[in-house]
Structure 1
């Protein structure tokens, strides 16, 4: 092995030392406000765990991704935990200043508790760094949820206006009704038709392909000097893995994870390669934002499509009305297209899923009253008129029609879009759950794309690494 090769163990060791030094500096700086020490420590563990697996990718973006993602949770834990530690220390001080048998016993107890406090904190933030608060994790906590089956059978929960397909979005694998969806959602591509016209690009159709998408984005960038498409952020994984894999073969033939969440839903990692290569090429050519530019997007209101710096953006349907309203105030009009497909006559890969659900706790002392509330909340038009589909399309047909009749332009586009997607051929069973650890796979996937951009690995290698990372979730 050549001495100056990056694979030389000496240079790897020096590189790791430099990474640890940089991490230490980041941790120290982020701990300066004191209250953010929990989030900083969580981010430190998050990156070092990735480094231990050889999956560090871009160190600084990974650190601040974890810091931002866990800021609220880790800060709350840290402040509460710090308060307990301060109380224990004060107790020790008081015991040392008091001469009595009781004080001696309390001193010993406080020492033991403080030791436990110190030991537990070494596990607390690594746990936060590895924990996934996904919808899937909540579904797996089904043991804490009291199914609504009996209340539906007795009529306490009225589901007469809710279709079977909508009910299935909140059922477990055995068909038990864990809750009622508070809104249905799907993904689409929001776009500015005037920008398409100015660039001389045809608007998307319901059967447009990823090639059409890439060609449109490239042309718009060349003609207008803006991004063809705004950053998909964490949805990059949904587009390139969940949706893209489901667009191969026949409807329902493939999925990224299998329905039982016991393994992968496809066998060939190279099914991921075309999307990865397309995305890497678009970043290289500045048709799509790189990691630095993507970090500037903090909410839907400052998405590059909204600011006029991009012609398209990936959105969840319930996000579209907000985006539409902001652009409307600027004198612009947006439209919402269905997702591109691998082939124009192939599966759409789209699914209708629940954004959230209302359910009853096993520990509730008023289960029937809770069930009555759910029935009212989901079926009463006046109640839903307040929310205006903010959490997605209402599952009750009557409520949906009532809101649609008084919808704003952006909301009406959302309703029409969901009606269109619901008519697409979809699998009989769709797994919308997430296995524990998926967040790490998502982060690695985005890092691998950046490594392809930088020429460190090929798209084929990125596809294999992504597949291996995902498959490893089921062998831990």
Structure 2
């Protein structure tokens, strides 16, 4: 029964899964006021990327600290994201209302590209804020660049983030179980992807002698 020892690979794996589940639940709870979504997502990725780097933070304490430390910037970025999303949604609504969606046009293509870029940037701007000391402008710029450089991976991240809700709403009786499983899988992949990508950037910056301010945190 060695696999049941607290330090066995099996128990470590279960502990890690539990950490990701706790993070997702904390993120939902702290997002309830809605305007705090940005800070909650930032805190979630702050801790999740630590877990992906094989660090051992106190999940709850690290989440709370990151939520507090990044609240102002994350909230402003979240409000900006909501504004841009509403603006794009209105554009698509007007296109449909005027019948311009019946034929492909340059404006449609441009709007589609812009929508995809905004969505990808919104998804990765909070992990960037969670990892580095950056200005809001810097976070947005880096999010756009990151999205373009990691296009396939960002598409997969978005798919994994959206699919729990799509499947869950089709099987409402199993919604909680589906949500817990899928969001845990999604967070595991996304946190690992971001952690590896950021580490690669940091190594490249070190080679060129450029400084990059990472968030150490008090966990």
Asked whether 1:106 is paired with 2:107, we answer: yes
Alignment of 1:178-193 (within 5 A): none
Q: Could you tell me which residue of structure 2 aligns to residue 436 of structure 1? A: 213
Shift of 1:121: 1.6
Asked whether 1:119 is paired with 2:117, we answer: no
Larger radius of gyration: 1
Asked whether 1:61 is paired with 2:83, we answer: no
Alignment of 1:78-227 (within 5 A): 78-100=78-100, 104-132=105-133
- Deviation digits for residues 19-38 of structure 1, max 9, x if unmatched? 11111110001111111111
Q: Could you tell me which residue of structure 2 aligns to residue 250 of structure 1? A: none
Distance in 2 of aligned mates of 1:435 and 1:110 = 34
Relative to its length, the structure with more helix (as a share) is: 2
> CA 1:89–1:123 in 2, change beyond 3 Å: closer, same or farther?
same
Shift of 1:122: 2.3
5+ residue gaps, structure 2, are 136-205
Contact 2:3 2:9 in 1 (8 A): no
> CA 1:103–1:32 in 2, change beyond 3 Å: closer, same or farther?
farther
Shift of 1:88: 0.3
Q: SS of the counterpart of 2:2?
A: coil
Contact 1:35 1:75 in 2 (8 A): yes
Shift of 1:70: 0.4
Aligned-residue RMSD, C-alpha: 2.5
Contact 2:38 2:78 in 1 (8 A): yes
Q: SS of the counterpart of 1:3?
A: helix
Contact 2:38 2:77 in 1 (8 A): yes
Relative to its length, the structure with more strand (as a share) is: 1
More contact order relative to length (CA 8 Å, sep ≥ 6): 2
- State the aligned residue count: 144
5+ residue gaps, structure 1, are 135-261, 263-433, 448-476
Contact 2:31 2:40 in 1 (8 A): yes
Distance in 1 of aligned mates of 2:90 and 2:32 = 23
Shift of 1:105: 3.6
Q: Could you tell me which residue of structure 2 aligns to residue 383 of structure 1? A: none
- Deviation digits for residues 31-71 of structure 1, max 9, x if unmatched? 11111111111001100011111223211010010000000
Q: Could you tell me which residue of structure 1 aligns to residue 38 of structure 2? A: 38
Contact 1:96 1:107 in 2 (8 A): no
Distance in 2 of aligned mates of 1:51 and 1:16 = 8
Distance in 1 of aligned mates of 2:69 and 2:86 = 27
